[in-house]
Amino acid sequence: MRPVCLRSSAMPDTGTIQDVLQAIATGRNATVDQAEQFLASATMLHISPRTTDTAKVAAFLASDQARTITGTLVMSEIR
């Protein structure tokens, strides 16, 4: 067994984060796109991952290609 932690930023293509984006947009009197940009600006790469991005990272970590990665935290903030 290889323990690995996969930490993802808010993924704007999920229902929960879409609700959050709408609340941010309403609270800031902005558009949902502006709210998404606001969330992305809080990440290290200034982009929000999509569920497919996070799934690809998870699949890689579970594969033999990542067999030497263990006991680590992997951040999914890629696009």
Counting beta carbons within 10 angstroms of the beta carbon of residue 74, is it exposed (0 to 12), middle (13 to 18) or buried (19 or more)?
middle
pTM of the model: 0.80
Which DSSP state fits 69? -
**What is the average pLDDT score of the chain?**
92
Region of 8 (left: φ > 0; alpha: ψ -120 to 50; beta: rest) is beta
Q: Output 64 or 44, whichever has higher pLDDT.
A: 64
16-37 pLDDT, tens digit each: 999 999 999 999 999 999 999 9
Cα distance between residue 36 and residue 79, in whole Å: 14
